[in-house]
Amino acid sequence: MNNIPQQLQQIHQQIKQACHAVGREQSAVKLLAVSKTKPVEDILIAHAAGQVAFGENYVQEGVEKIQYCQQHDVSLEWHFIGPLQSNKTRLVAEYFDWMQTLERAKIADRLNEQRSPYKAPLNVLIQINISQESSKSGIQPSDMLPLAKHIENLPHLRLRGLMAIPEPTNDVAQQEQTFCQMKTLFEQLQQALPNAQIDTLSMGMTDDMQSAIKCGSTMVRIGTAIFGTRDYAK
């Protein structure tokens, strides 16, 4: 049985230590609890322990959890962090607060059209394929600024920064090199769009969180270390 509150506490301690080691405030790094494939009961336990932001990879599963929480007056912040097909954009636009995996102008246009003007703009991150993996989503670094400038003209979206899922490696030097490339791109984006609220660099997961924080991550996405291993057979 997972002890979710205790595991959350351990992650916060690790974030604190990683920040302290490089002279950053712990408050500079936000914890996103990745709850994909996990039951809503686990989310409620984590929320009771103080966790507010949750990440989901699958649209339908995420929407069901969001609806359950809304019906039970549990106010959470929901991030979509999986690949998004055009036929699923409406649900993300209607239900989620953040969309972290934006990689195409067409998807941005659909999200913008489908986001209610009565809601706050949908916060979006551009996903960069920083390790140049053919199997991974995300755009090439050279395509970042054209897409960012396109998003800037969409009134119902708010560009907040960048997201990446680097190729897994146990080589800490390699981790840091890749994350530092992301930090450089993030700074270029901030300089190119000085009037935008570019404040979020989402990178780092359970196995490479320390390197990500050292290189400037402002949001780490942690699932297994909070909720335990996932059973995809379900």
Residue 234: predicted pLDDT? 57
Report the CATH architecture of 4-227. Answer: Alpha-Beta Barrel (3.20)
pLDDT for res 137: 86
Q: Is the pLDDT of residue 1 over 90?
A: no
pLDDT band at 184 (very low <50, low <70, confident <90, very high): very high
In percent, the amount of the chain with pLDDT more than 90 equals 93
Q: What is the model's pLDDT at position 229?
A: 87
> Of the given ranges (24-33, 69-78, 131-140), which has the lowest mean pLDDT?
131-140
Q: What is the pLDDT of residue 233?
A: 67
Work out the pLDDT band at 10, boundaries 50, 70, 90. very high
pLDDT at 140: 95
Percent of the chain scoring above 70 in pLDDT = 99
Domain boundaries, the chain: 4-227
* Spatial separation of the C-alpha atoms in residues 91 and 61, rounded to whole Å: 11
Give the span between the Cα atoms of 228 and 6, in whole angstroms. 12
CA-nearest of 191, 189, 193, 213 to 203 is: 213
With 80 as the cut, is the pLDDT of residue 152 above it?
yes
pLDDT in tens, 188-227: 999 999 999 999 999 999 999 999 999 999 999 999 999 9
Please check whether residue 78 is in contact with residue 95, taking contact to mean a CB–CB distance below 8 angstroms: yes
Output the pLDDT for position 134.
75
Q: Are 19 and 213 in contact (CB under 8 A)?
A: yes
Residues whose CB is less than 8 angstroms from the CB of residue 118 and which lie 6 or more positions away in sequence, other chains included: none
Half-sphere exposure of 85 (CA within 13 A, CB side): 5
pLDDT value at residue 131: 85
Q: 146: Cβ–Cβ under 8 A, 6 or more apart, which residues?
A: none
Residues 132 and 143 sit within 8 Å (Cβ to Cβ): no
Cα-based torsion angle of the residue sequence 164, 165, 170, 174 in order, rounded to the nearest 10 degrees? -30
Distance between CA atoms of residues 98 and 132, nearest Å: 24
Mean pLDDT score of the chain, rounded to an integer?
95
**Among 114-123, 134-143, 168-177, 185-194, which is the least confidently predicted range?**
134-143
pTM: 0.96
pLDDT in tens, 88-107: 999 999 999 999 999 999 99
Q: Is the pLDDT of residue 231 over 80?
A: no
